[in-house]
Structure 1
């Protein structure tokens, strides 16, 4: 297993990050596989024959690999979008890959039935993030859905502190070394910006572990 060197300033643009990413993210986020399974469960309800699915922030293809049986069985089309050439060079999953920035990507042109943002919107600049979310909502075909899994702003008070410690405990139990956890947190400063509750208006929460949550927005059906 290749060990990742954590840079002082986090970036997805370096090949060495992409090469070690899959192992690293499972160590740092012990609930990663569980959350992936939840995404697949919800996604299957919105993928029909010939559907278009956009995986925004696809990285090396975790979501594409997990959805592969459904995509194949329903002849659905996956578009894997990421702004890192290094990540897409390491992409190993079904679908076509596109280099693109969330802030400028033309979602509407693809007429998606489903958009998945798995640990990606927290890396979009907060000043532009709500606009990206609204454009994704507007781009969905009738009865489509937008699934988001990301870090959220922490809950305040003692309960918030306990939830943060839950995350630390899970990392430690998964084998992450304390110095690496600290290094990663400092590396993400100013790069990873948690989601705000107001950005998720109209969504339904479907997952929570520590400071991370999953949400779904279901577009109106055509007769509504």
Structure 2
């Protein structure tokens, strides 16, 4: 896996472009997400642990917005159900190419892993197969708000009885003081991981038009509107959280 440090926003930029999952981001993505998302390694590994409780024989497990395949690798390490397979989907060609390389490396290190198919596609246009587990790990926040409920409704329709959706997202908070506190604590987390004030400010500018977080209440209401019967938060660290939604 790439060890290149994230220095994408370290120098003053004359114009901060909207954030995109391009080749430059792919090269530094493991370092970027580890230093930017508190609890990320814990979330990823435990998605695999949780998935093992919901995965059913002869079914599909989806990793939607798979980026470099961290969740896919966790699913393959933990799920032992017979004849399961993973479908990893991302719309970035650079991500898909590097993800395929990482999964090939995983195949060489472990035996009897679940088969995996990596697809370059828009998840909004994907024809879902019957699935026992769907992971949306920091993906929904990059989809336009009006398209979120239709996507979740289609995922709900594809889920088998007894399956689950695992949804991880950055949160915003309706209480202004709570939002301000957790935002400042998140900035402190990034400072502690070596990001400068310039890097923090420029990356915030790059993300403000493309990453649009919801509150926990909005996630819960939308998931229930999509047809899920129960929504259970299982992890939160600062303003990042992960939920289990049951059909």
- The answer, yes or no, to whether TM exceeds 0.5 is yes
* Alignment of 1:90 onto 2:98: yes
For residues 237 and 38 of structure 2, the distance between their equivalents in structure 1, rounded to whole angstroms, comes to: 10
Q: Which residue number in structure 1 is paired with residue 32 of structure 2?
A: 24
Indicate the residue corresponding to 2:60 in structure 1: 52
1:210 to 214, 235, 238: 238
19-28 or 165-174, which moves further after superposition?
165-174
Q: Choose the corresponding residue for 1:67, options 46, 51, 75.
A: 75
Residue 198 of structure 2: aligned partner:
179
2:162 alignment partner, SS class: coil
Return the offset for 1:174.
Answer: 2.2
Identify the match of residue 41 of structure 1 among 27, 49, 56: 49
Matched, 1:3 2:22: no
Map 1:128-207 → 2, pairs under 5 A: 128-196=147-215, 197=218, 198-201=221-224, 202-207=230-235
Please list every run of 5 or more consecutive structure 1 residues that lacks an aligned counterpart in the other structure.
220-224
**In 2, distance between residues paired with 1:78 and 1:103?**
18
1:114–1:29 Cα change, 3 Å: same
TM-score by length of 2: 0.81
Paired position in structure 2 for 1:77? 85
Mapped contact 1:54–1:79 kept (Cα < 8 A): yes
Asked if the contact 2:55–2:81 (Cα under 8 Å) also holds between the matched residues in 1, the reply is no
Cα deviations across residues 12-34 of structure 1 (Å, max 9, x unaligned)? Answer: 1x212112111111111131111
Q: What does residue 222 of structure 1 align with?
A: none
Of 140-149 and 85-94, the range deviating more from structure 2: 85-94
Name the counterpart of 2:108.
none
Q: Distance in 2 between matches of 1:212 and 1:69?
A: 24
Give the TM-score normalised by structure 1: 0.88
Matches of 2:36 and 2:62, distance apart in 1:
25
1-10 or 134-143: which moved more?
Answer: 1-10
Q: Distance in 1 between matches of 2:149 and 2:87?
A: 22
Superposed CA offset, 1:161-200 (max 9, x none): 2222221222222222222121111100110011341324
Contact 2:63–2:88, Cα closer than 8 Å, also in 1? yes
Residue pair 1:35, 1:207 contacting (<8 A) in 2 also: yes
Measured after TM superposition, the shift of residue 142 of structure 1 is: 1.2
State the shift of 1:73 in Å: 6.6
Gaps of 5+ in 2: 10-15, 104-114, 225-229
Over aligned residue pairs, what C-alpha RMSD do you find?
A: 1.8
Contact (CA 8 Å) 1:148, 1:214: kept in 2 or not? yes
- Which 10-residue stretch deviates more, 193-202 or 179-188? 193-202
Q: Distance in 1 between matches of 2:184 and 2:202?
A: 17
Once residues 123 and 117 of structure 2 are traced to their aligned partners in structure 1, the CA distance between those partners, rounded to angstroms, is 17
